[in-house]
Amino acid sequence: MNTTSSINIREVAFPAILSMVLFSAAIFLPPLGILFSIFCPVPIILAHLYRGQRTGFISSIIVAIILFLFINVQISLVFFAEYGLIAVIMAESIRRNYSIDKIVLYSVGASFLLGGVLIYVFLLVKDINLSSFMTEQIKQSMASSINAYRQIGISDSEIDNIKLYSEKLASAFISSIPAWMIVSSTVGVLLNYVLVKMVWNKYIGNSSYFESSDLEKWSANEYMIWLFIFSGVMLLIPAKSLNIIGLNFLIISLMIYFYQGIAVVILYMRKKTFPLFLKIIIYGLIFIQPLLLLLVILIGVFDSWADFRKLKCSGNNTI
């Protein structure tokens, strides 16, 4: 698309306003609005691809400025770090026909680095320790839950067990915050990519975008299994710092193999022409049933060797 012509105000304003409305839904319509806010990069990405690089970049800046003027600087920075920057990087990566691996890597990497810096600066200014802050927030949530358990008649011994388990879970969560930041950013990037691809192919579809990125055929490099093994070994070493590193690597490796497993499931359902309602049921069960979630991860792990989709003979690119 044209990237050199002058910017039309309406072409910039429309994606900026639509993106701001989607993002603001999380502020004014919680918790349902969070589902809409995830997709606030979509208008900016489409504008970037269709109207040019400057249009997409200026739209992102406009949203950040409006949020700064009418809400506060923190919300403005959150938008830019978590959504605006991702939108621009995703759009430019798609425009250059990068593989889905690079699209995710560049988008998530930039968001993670900038988001980490902003969190560090915010905590430094407020003189807050991240671990202590998160621990206090979790303790408050746990106290509310324990009070609710007492009100419905759960015994003190059971409550003590729940409290002990919750404290261990909270400690593990705090230690693995970097991994969960990467996981959440990756989920957001992939969801936006899928929606942008659907909208583009259905309503525009007059370019070579997305031809090199088919999520159904994505697979991790066989050597990624060593990250999984390495993380497990680090968890067994009696050293807390190594355990934390191992836990973060384990979560990331499980995420990678989950995506590979879900790609196998998607391709299988497409080949067998599953009806839409059945696909929705299967996806729902995968995300709410831990055993099915584990099964999908195992499918992803074994697909590296078993090649369930017969991709190796077709020369499929992997990370």
pTM given for the model: 0.83
Give the start-to-end residue ranges of the domains of the chain.
1-125+180-206, 214-319
pLDDT in tens, the chain (319 residues): 554 445 678 788 899 999 999 998 888 887 778 888 999 999 999 999 988 888 989 999 999 999 999 888 888 888 988 899 999 999 999 999 888 889 999 999 998 888 888 877 777 777 767 667 777 777 777 777 777 777 777 777 777 777 777 777 778 888 898 999 999 999 999 999 999 998 998 888 767 787 666 778 888 888 888 999 999 999 999 898 999 999 999 999 999 999 999 999 988 888 888 888 898 899 889 988 889 999 999 999 999 888 888 877 655 555 5
Please tell me the distance from the alpha carbon of residue 92 to that of residue 302, in angstroms, as a whole number.
Answer: 34
List, as one string, the DSSP characters of 83-150: IIHHHHHHHHHHHTT--HHHHHHHHHHHHHHHHHHHHHHHHHHHT--HHHHHHHHHHHHHHHHHHHHH
Residue count of the chain = 319
Closest CA to 187 of 292, 82, 291: 82
Q: Are 123 and 83 in contact (CB under 8 A)?
A: no
Beta bridge partner(s), residue 219:
318
Encoded amino acid at 180, one letter: W
Taking the C-alpha atoms of residue 48 and residue 108, their distance in angstroms, rounded to an integer, is 19
Which residues is 318 bridged to in the sheet?
219
Report the top-level CATH class of 1-125+180-206.
Answer: mainly alpha
